[in-house]
Structure 1
Amino acid sequence: MEILRGRGESPTADREVTAALLDRAADAGITTIRVWRPHRHLAFGRRDAAAAAYDHARRIARDHGYPPIERQVGGRAVAYTGSMLAFGVALPTENGRRGIDERYTTATRILRRALRETGACVEAGEPDASFCPGAHSLRVPAGGKVAGIAQRVRRDAVLVAGCVIVTEADAAAVGAVLDPVYRALDVAFDPDAVGSVEAAGGPVAIGPVAREIEDRFINSDWGNGTRRVRSVE
């Protein structure tokens, strides 16, 4: 498994770095793990872009200091504060449509174990009216959403990716910007449905959480414990 560290110079450039991992997985057969802090921005999904109030929602994001970006995959808007974590694992495959559920199960198990190793008590599940709602999330028990997982699937490669909110300060910031954005888009959202690793009993420091997530994926069946580190160019 290859480990990619660092980030691109801008939110758009950084997303291109992650997208390139799919090509590398397909062309060279290399599995790569990336755990990093994305730039501050707000990523809108395709469904958001089709909404009548999309331009208004983009202005709201910009007014709150979050440059708006439209991502290529589905889902609803996600805010990145600049100190949140994101992760992505690019895997070569002969048929990306096969094994989607199994990959979700594996990724959820690995991420949950990683967060539990930091001291955070998290469980699988999605709170009502959460941000970017989906079936594959981790939450504080009876509390807010801490992490969400998604997949970008091609025939020859897949990207299993997600975001992790570490601190209560970031949870509050995410809620503050997404509340007016989701209202503009007429999407149900409850700021109290945003959780964090800290709220689940884990650390405030982001570094140990990032290292644990990286290590758990490396030492899974996807990584086989091998490491080769390179940096974003």
Structure 2
Amino acid sequence: MRVLRGRAATIAADRERTRTMLARTGETGEPAVRVWAPHRQVAFGRREAAEPGYDRAVAAARERGFDPVERSVGGRAVAYTGSTVAFAHAVPVTDPRVGLDDRYDAAVGSLRRALASLGVDAVPGEPPDAFCPGSHSLQCEGKVVGIAQRVRTDAALVAGCVVVADRGAFADVVDAVYGALEQPFDPASVGSVAAAGGPSDPDPVIDAVERQLVGDAATTVSRIGNGHT
């Protein structure tokens, strides 16, 4: 299994690293894992770009110091504050119609074990009117983890985010963005690892999530930039 660590110098370069990771898994059949803290941004789902309030939502993100980008996996907009952790697990597939639920279940289990190792007893589910609503989430005093999936003919990318700290900044920008898109959102629905008794530093969260996604697989590590981020 390939493991990518670190963050590229720009948002565009960083996103390209994940796209390349997925493409390589499709070409070679070798799984890959990446866990990191992305640059400050709001990642919009593809369908949101066609909605009437999209321009207002982009402006709301920029006004709060978040660069707007469009993400390839499904779901609603998600904020990355700088401490928010992202994870991406690329796995080969032979039939894109098979294995969707199994991959989701495996990701939920891995993230739950990772949080438990940090002292956070997260459980499946989410509060009403949460960010990026979906059936594959984890909560502990608010939604902490959201998971989405992109499936190609040769590989799938199971990806998501962990709200580590900065719960107020996260909720503030998502509230403004969802308001512009006329989507329901309750700022009180946002949880975080720190608020649930875990660390506020993203580094131990990155380590814990990577460890669980990799499992006992033999790894080849590649470094992107410097440090955990």
Please give the TM-score of this superposition, normalised by the length of structure 1. 0.93
Q: Which amino acid counterpart does residue 8 of structure 1 have in structure 2?
A: A
Give ranges in structure 2 of 5+ residues lacking alignment. Answer: none
Instruction: For residue 20 of structure 1, report the CA deviation from its aligned partner.
Output: 1.1
Is contact 2:74–2:148 with CA below 8 Å preserved after alignment?
no
Aligned pair in 2 of structure 1 residues 25, 36: CA closer, same or farther (>3 Å)?
Answer: same
Q: 1:230 corresponds to which residue?
A: 222
Q: Which runs of 5+ in 1 are unaligned?
A: none
Partner amino acid for 2:169?
A
Give the C-alpha shift of residue 72 in structure 1. Answer: 3.1
* Shift in Å, 1:232: 2.7
- From 205, 208, 212, the equivalent of 1:209 is 205
Residue type of the alignment partner of 1:188: P
- Rounded Cα–Cα distance in structure 1 between residues aligned with 2:197 and 2:159: 23
SS of residue in 2 equivalent to 1:196: coil
Separation in structure 2 between the aligned mates of residue 113 and residue 161 of structure 1, nearest angstrom: 16
**Is contact 2:117-2:208 (8 Å) kept?**
yes
Q: How many residues in Structure 1 have an aligned counterpart in Structure 2?
A: 225
Q: Give the alignment's TM-score, normalised by structure 2.
A: 0.94
Whether the 8 Å contact between 2:144 and 2:193 is mirrored in structure 1 is yes
Provide the residue aligned with 1:51 in structure 2. Answer: 51
Q: Which amino acid aligns with 2:12?
A: T
CA contact (8 A) 1:97 1:154 kept: no
Percent identical among aligned pairs is 51
Letter of the structure 2 residue corresponding to residue 164 of structure 1: V
Find the counterpart in structure 2 of residue 80 from structure 1: 80
Indicate if the aligned counterparts of 2:142 and 2:192 stay in contact, CA closer than 8 A.
yes
Aligned 1:1-233 pairs, distance under 5 A: 1-140=1-140, 143-167=141-165, 170-219=166-215, 224-232=216-224
Cα distance in 1, alignment partners of residues 55 and 172 from structure 2: 19
How much has 1:73 moved relative to structure 2?
Answer: 3.5
Paired with 1:73 and 1:23, the residues of 2 have a C-alpha distance of 14
The whole-number CA distance in structure 2 between the counterparts of 1:65 and 1:12 is 17
Contact 2:37 2:202 in 1 (8 A): no
